[in-house]
């Protein structure tokens, strides 16, 4: 079982939202220190001050995960000055809520760069030390959108489908090796962090509260779970999509309000 206590934790997108809560919960569980990566320097400094005032050890880094040079520089500095990272939470992400035809090329590129390449490149930067040590835990925050299509989030969904496929494949590769190398793939539905402001919760799929999903993620890490789907209804999606004709599944998803959930999306201001 992975223990958070006395471990070095890295959280991308750690200045706010889900990332900030994950960092705090790890520190509350006794983590030795947390390393926060975020592009927003102002929020990063604010979160660092908040945590340090509670006597926690925090290492802030202004990192744009779309820039390979940022990732490589920060990872090199961390490995040389702090040491091996035991647990990586890949939680940085963005969403553009509009039809595909309305997406600009910059929006498409940013979504893929942050949600897919940022996750892969961050993991690549630290996995060598994990392999050498024979231990490490990588947590990839994907989305239920990585399991089901949804209008007005086509590019976001594609990025999360990519993360799910990559994350599960990485898990299988690491399980073939000796040691304690773990991967957890997280596919939550909408979370009330501001990122999805304006969405309408589908029937049977309530919008999740941040504390709830963070508690579930930490519990899943500590028990070495390999997949976390939440809330409960999300667990049924792969089965239903596998056994039902596509048009039948579409009708059910539409009736439950899944396909209309992004109609009034506003997002974080």
Tokens, residue 26: 């790890």
Q: Answer yes or no: are the C-beta atoms of 198 and 264 closer than 8 Å.
A: yes
Distance between CA atoms of residues 97 and 123, nearest Å: 27
Q: Answer yes or no: are the C-beta atoms of 87 and 26 closer than 8 Å.
A: yes
- Closest by alpha carbon to 125, among 184, 75, 70? 75
Catalytic pick from 56, 156, 190, 259?
156
Distance between CA atoms of residues 256 and 262, nearest Å: 13
Mapped to the 3 state alphabet, what secondary structure does 98-125 carry? CCHHHCCHHHHHHHHHHHHHHHHHHHHH
Bridge partners of 34, per DSSP, are 9, 58
Catalytic residue check, 61: no
Q: Which residues have a catalytic role annotated? A: 156
């Amino acid at each position: 079982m992975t223990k958070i206590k006395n471990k070095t934790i890295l959280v991308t997108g750690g200045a706010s939202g889900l990332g900030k809560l994950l960092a705090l919960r790890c520190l509350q569980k006794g983590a030795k220190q947390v390393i926060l990566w975020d592009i927003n320097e102002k929020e990063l400094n604010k979160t660092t001050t908040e945590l340090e005032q509670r006597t926690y050890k925090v290492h802030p880094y202004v990192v744009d995960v779309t820039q390979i040079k940022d990732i490589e520089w920060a990872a090199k500095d961390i490995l040389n000055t702090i040491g091996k990272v035991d647990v990586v939470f890949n939680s940085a992400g963005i969403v553009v809520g509009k039809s595909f035809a309305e997406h600009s090329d910059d929006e498409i590129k940013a979504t893929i760069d942050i949600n897919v390449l940022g996750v892969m490149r961050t993991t690549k930067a630290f996995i060598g030390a994990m392999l050498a040590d024979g231990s490490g835990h990588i947590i990839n925050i994907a989305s239920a959108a990585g399991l089901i299509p949804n209008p007005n989030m086509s590019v976001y969904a594609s990025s999360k489908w990519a993360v799910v496929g990559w994350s599960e494949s990485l898990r299988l590769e690491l399980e073939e090796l000796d040691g304690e190398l773990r991967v957890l793939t997280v596919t939550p539905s909408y979370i009330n962090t501001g990122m999805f402001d304006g969405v309408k919760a589908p029937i049977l799929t309530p919008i999740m509260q941040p504390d709830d999903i963070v508690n579930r993620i930490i519990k899943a890490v500590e028990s070495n779970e390999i997949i976390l789907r939440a809330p409960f209804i999300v667990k049924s999606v792969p089965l239903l999509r596998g056994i039902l004709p596509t048009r039948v599944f579409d009708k059910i998803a539409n009736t439950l309000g899944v396909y209309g959930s992004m109609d009034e999306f506003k997002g974080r201001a």
